[in-house]
Amino acid sequence: MNSDFEAVIGLEVHAQLLTDTKIFCGCSTQFGNPPNTNVCPVCLGHPGVLPVLNKKVVEYSVLMGLATDCTINEESIFARKNYFYPDLPKGYQISQFEKPICEHGFVNLELDNGKTKKVRIKRIHMEEDAGKSIHDQGDTTLIDLNRTGVPLIEIVSEPDINSPEEASAYMKKLHQLVTFLGICDGNMEQGSLRCDANISVRKKGASKLGTRTEVKNMNSFRNVERAIKFEIERQIDILEDGGEIIQQTLLWNADLGKAAPMRGKEEAHDYRYFPDPDLVPVIIPDDWKTDIKNKMPELPESIKHRFINEYGLPVYDAEVLTTNKETAKYFEEVLQETNEYKLVSNWVMGEILAYVNDKKINISDFPVSPVNLGKLINLIKSGKISGKIAKKIFPLMLENNEDPIKIVEEKKLLQITDNTEIENVIDKVLKENKNQVEQYLSGKEKVFGFLVGQIMRITKGKANPKIVNNILMKKLSALKNK
């Protein structure tokens, strides 16, 4: 990026709330049902119907507000945002405008360079989703109104973000919060968590914000980053050529790696917001707020600190283990069985996350139960098996979550810690490899590894490596001094 310029970015993030029913009617929010089956006169916008607010939507919004240190407004107002669109049967969207439910919060981002960055949240408001226009089924456009009235929160940041990396870190933070709170499934591909990026650039040190554009349609963290990078560079190029930025909305095309203006002329939006006369103000008395607060699950930040302070884990481990709720939960469940914190962390971050990522499954569907992983780790720690043998047993456990103690017994994999037994094997190896022993004695120390390898081969990897090293070393130096 050209160093004379800095980017200024503000994100508007929509999160679909995980309620069973829609925001103003009793229709199901189930994804993937046949088109136009989750509908009723209210969400179809028939004349004369009245919306009734879903209490869960308020509770979920307050949870997000509390998790981002917002002020929870005691009174907030629903407003009509008027515009015409085929998938918006009422001709207006019920949203919040002047008085949103939450305001003035912030989140802290931990950046890759080790620094933290505060991004202020301007507001969080409740609104209903619109329906879906389907353009890819022949020549006609089809309308599915199942999504109409599905509850959303919109989280609007202040323009505190200054790079594509920060933008994606911010999205990850919000993703982590909504999923830990259990208020949204966080699925960006299906659009349950989506963001519009407002982007401008200005000369470094300038105090006035530049003209912004809005980029939409990024369905992954990576695409948020790519799209913003593209748009920043596009704007800088224009300004450097003496041009001007036009305020407009662009659509990100991930295949082309480009953002292009949406078709049609971009009018200045005038939604003619006004308070919705069908809905009373939302009042949140203190005791309701306290109730919601008391039900709030532990947040990732707090879990992370606990992992560092209680279990002595490195910051890096604590961060990886708290990327999502299920991983943190799995990790702590293993600790019911063993208190080898760091060893458990290594296994979860290594073997287990590798498997889960490779198979694209959720760790809650991981075939080895936390108890059995704990048992495996205890076997290693007590010296009953080596780390190497553990890695051999692990694939067997993956098959049907078998108890590792049983596997070790059945396959006779217990580590040999009996000195005499090991000594016998060593003597045999020394006798059968006279040449190599000579080489070692004449100074070729690398041969030591070869001899250890032979011992391990004969014992099928079961000999305790420490004991092998000790005895072998002793025997060789005895030979040397002869």
Which residue's structure tokens are 């059995």?
372
451 binds, among Zn ion, ligand ADP, none (CB under 5 to 8 A by kind): none
Burial of 367 (0-12, 13-18, 19+ CB in 10 A): middle
Q: Give the dihedral sign, CA 237/238/241/242.
A: negative
43 binds, among ligand ADP, Zn ion, none (CB under 5 to 8 A by kind): Zn ion
CB environment 441-479: b (16+ within 10 A), e (fewer): eeeeeebeeebbebbbebbebbbbeebbeebbeebbeee
Which lies closer to Zn ion via its Cβ, residue 42 or residue 227?
42
Residue type, 253: N
CA 343 distance to own-chain centroid: 23
- Between the alpha carbon of residue 111 and those of residues 2, 174, 313, 332, the distances in Å are 21, 14, 19, 26
Report in angstroms how near the CB of residue 221 gets to ligand ADP at its nearest: 18
Report in angstroms how near the CB of residue 393 gets to ligand ADP at its nearest: 52
Q: Concatenated DSSP letters for 287-314? A: HHHHHHHHTPPPPHHHHHHHHHHHH---
Which lies closer to ligand ADP via its Cβ, residue 235 or residue 338?
235
Pattern 106-145, Zn ion, x by CB under 5 A: ----------------------------------------
Which lies closer to Zn ion via its Cβ, residue 89 or residue 159?
89
Which lies closer to ligand ADP via its Cβ, residue 157 or residue 179?
157
Report in angstroms how near the CB of residue 201 gets to ligand ADP at its nearest: 9
**Interactions with Zn ion, residue window 37-76 (CB under 5 A):** 40, 42-43
DSSP three-state, residue 112: coil
Which listed residue (18, 27, 145, 451) binds Zn ion by CB under 5 A? 27
For ligand ADP, the binding residues (CB under 6 A) are 8-12, 156-159, 198-200, 209-210, 212
The interface region with Zn ion, picked from 23-31, 92-100, 204-212, 457-465 by CB under 5 A, is 23-31
Taking the CA of residue 293 as centre, how many other CA atoms within 13 Å lie in the half-sphere pointing to its CB? Answer: 14
Report in angstroms how near the CB of residue 226 gets to ligand ADP at its nearest: 18
Report in angstroms how near the CB of residue 185 gets to Zn ion at its nearest: 21
Q: Do the Cβ atoms of 379 and 390 come closer than 8 Å?
A: yes
Report in angstroms how near the CB of residue 213 gets to ligand ADP at its nearest: 9
As a whole number of angstroms, the distance between CA 237 and CA 228 comes to 14
Per rule CB under 5 A, is residue 23 in the interface with Zn ion? no
27 binds, among Zn ion, ligand ADP, none (CB under 5 to 8 A by kind): Zn ion
Residues that bind Zn ion in the complex, under the rule CB under 5 A: 25, 27, 40, 42-43
